[in-house]
Amino acid sequence: MTKLQECLASNLKLFRKMRHLTQEQLAEKAGTSTTYIGTIEIGQKFPSKSMIEKISDALGIESIQLFQTNQAIPIKQNTFDKTSLSKALMKNIKDAVESTLKNC
């Protein structure tokens, strides 16, 4: 799996869970199959540009957010709960600290 696929897979799963969506629910919103969403999340498939747009629209995020590292906070909608947001923020802080320590 390439770094780009890894980033997409991780962010897709993160945003899907923050929205409290199953793979099936996201697939329905994006007009695709549950299997396809699952294969993207494990890095076996890479979606087309149009599918990336459909998925990001279904998640209520900008498509670029699916490819940003340490991405955790959606900006289009506020359909996440406080617990999910807290966990995402803590992950970002942990990742930032670990990255800083690696560079020391």
Question: What residue ranges do the domains of the chain occupy?
Answer: 3-102
CB 74 within 8 A of CB 18: yes
On whether the pTM is more than 0.85, the answer is: no
Q: Can you tell me which residue has the tokens 């995402």?
A: 88
Which sign does the torsion angle of CA 61, 62, 66, 68 carry? negative
- What pLDDT sits at residue 104? 61
CA distance 30 to 25: 9
- What pLDDT sits at residue 100? 67
- What pLDDT sits at residue 77? 47
CA distance 1 to 23: 20
CA distance 19 to 57: 12
- What pLDDT sits at residue 89? 63
- What pLDDT sits at residue 69? 80
- What pLDDT sits at residue 74? 44
**pLDDT in tens for each of the 104 residues of the chain?**
888 899 999 999 999 999 999 999 999 999 999 999 999 999 999 999 999 999 999 999 999 999 988 654 444 444 455 566 667 667 766 776 676 677 66
CB 47 within 8 A of CB 56: no
Q: Which CATH architecture has domain 3-102?
A: Orthogonal Bundle (1.10)
